[in-house]
């Protein structure tokens, strides 16, 4: 995916006036993470020494364009770079709110209440939220609208594919949280009502059960296969249905 941003990359240079007053505390989120086995692997636990980037920057068109441009060298295609980056970023950004829903401790979906930790290559690995939600669907709608607009501008692309990726991130993360909690049906049951409350143009998340395991029925292609070392995902919607099902049957052995 290229060499990624250097130590002086945009992810290390917060801009003033980003509607966040300081380092976001993880005390409230820690109570949520404590209820979920493997919370760190889900991006819910931030290392104490990790630098935090205000999530408000994701809606800053200049900042987001610089981050995506720094990752576009491997393909020369800003659309691919933006799509791959959003595929990772949306999953990390949304996880605190989704984990809060699943555990009964509603965490804010507002950008101003959230910070992220990034790897040196510009991909996020964790997010932390410091406030309770008032209306998580309304907050997530505002967040997604702002960030999708910035990412679409950076990638010189339409917004609808990015909304579809957000849908798959919601579906994937609720499935992962359900697995971690030992109750996949309860976790995935949250997806459709949440997406419906967020509203169009967010598609409704879908799942498919194969060989006794549940998987996300993808609404989007992450375009990872268009990277130099990329490969087509097992559940990619571009695969013929029979081929995709056969691969999912193999993957089901792990669950």
Under a CB-based contact definition with an 8 Å cutoff, are residues 46 and 117 in contact? Answer: yes
Q: Which residue has the tokens 């950008």?
A: 111
Residue 52 CB neighbour total at 10 angstroms: 20
Q: What is the pLDDT along the chain (255 residues), one digit of tens a residue?
A: 333 333 345 555 444 344 443 344 468 899 999 999 999 999 999 888 889 999 999 999 999 999 998 877 666 688 888 998 999 999 999 999 999 999 999 999 999 999 999 988 888 999 999 899 999 999 999 999 999 999 999 999 999 999 999 999 999 999 999 999 999 999 999 999 999 999 999 999 999 999 999 999 988 877 665 666 766 777 777 778 887 888 888 888 888
What is the Cα–Cα distance from 63 to 3, expressed in whole angstroms? 18
pLDDT of residue 214: 95
Q: Is 225 exposed, middle or buried (0-12, 13-18, 19+ CB in 10 A)?
A: middle
pLDDT score recorded for residue 39: 96
pLDDT value of residue 5: 37
Count other C-beta atoms under 10 Å from residue 39's C-beta: 20
Please give the pLDDT value at position 227.
63
In eight-state DSSP terms, residue 15 is: P
Residue 81: which of 155, 147, 153, 150 has the closest Cα? 155
Q: Is the dihedral of CA 50, 31, 39, 227 positive or negative?
A: negative
């Amino acid at each position: 995916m290229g060499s990624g941003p250097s130590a002086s990359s945009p992810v290390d240079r917060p801009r003033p006036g980003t509607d966040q007053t300081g380092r976001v505390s993880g005390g409230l989120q820690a109570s949520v993470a404590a209820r979920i086995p493997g919370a760190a692997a889900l991006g819910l636990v931030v290392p104490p020494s990790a630098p935090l980037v205000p999530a408000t920057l994701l809606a800053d068109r200049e900042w987001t364009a610089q981050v995506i441009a720094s990752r576009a060298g491997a393909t020369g295609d800003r659309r691919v770079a933006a799509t791959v980056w959003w595929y990772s970023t949306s999953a990390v950004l949304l996880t605190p709110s989704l984990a809060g829903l699943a555990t009964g401790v509603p965490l804010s979906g507002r950008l101003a209440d959230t910070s992220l930790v990034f790897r040196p290559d510009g991909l996020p690995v964790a997010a932390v939220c410091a406030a309770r939600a008032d209306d998580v669907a309304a907050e997530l709608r505002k967040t997604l609208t702002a960030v999708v607009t910035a990412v679409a501008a950076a990638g010189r692309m339409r917004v609808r594919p990015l909304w579809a990726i957000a849908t798959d991130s919601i579906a994937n993360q609720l499935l992962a949280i359900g697995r971690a909690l030992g109750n996949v049906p309860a976790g995935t049951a949250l997806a459709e009502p949440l997406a419906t409350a967020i509203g169009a143009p967010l598609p409704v998340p879908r799942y498919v059960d194969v060989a006794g395991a549940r998987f996300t029925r993808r609404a989007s292609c992450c375009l990872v296969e268009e990277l130099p070392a990329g490969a087509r995902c097992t559940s990619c919607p571009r695969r013929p249905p029979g081929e995709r099902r056969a691969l999912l049957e193999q993957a089901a052995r792990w669950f």
